[in-house]
Structure formats: C-alpha cells, structure tokens
Amino acid sequence: MKKGSLYDEFEREKKKLNRLGNKALKNGIRIIEDEAFMEQNRKVDELVVKIQIEKEKHKKNRQER
C-alpha cells in the first residue's frame, strides 16, 4: 500500500471513529461499551501501527544512505 493511501485510509477511518463516538455519546452509551466504536477503534489503532512502521522503515533507509 502506498504511503499516501495509508494516510488517506487513516483519515477516513478516524472520521468514522469520531462519528461512531459522537453517536454513542448522543445515545447515552459509554463508548467502551459500544462494540461498533471499539471495533473501529481497533482498526484505527492498526493503521497507526502501520504508519509508524512505515515511518521507521523510511527513517532507517535514509540513515543507510
């Protein structure tokens, strides 16, 4: 996956997470108890990890030059 598309996906998933969080709070549901929110949160977390790994690879490649 290209770096730009990874960031784009992160932004899309983060917006979805925010919408789910706002919906849960609006409905009086604690977000930790909202399964849809927690599942989306895991997706966002995974994307953050992927982005960090890509950054580290890029940093390491630059140091090797």
Pairwise CA distance, residues 27 & 37, whole Å: 13
Q: What are the tens digits of pLDDT across the range 12-60?
A: 999 999 999 999 999 999 999 999 999 999 999 999 999 999 999 888 7
What type of residue is 43? K
Residue range(s) defining the domain that contains residue 34: 3-64
3-state secondary structure of 2: coil
Q: Which is more confident, 10 or 62?
A: 10
pTM of the entire predicted model: 0.82
Q: Which amino acid is at 40?
A: Q
Question: pLDDT-based confidence at 1, cuts 50/70/90?
Answer: very low
Q: How many domains does the chain have?
A: 1
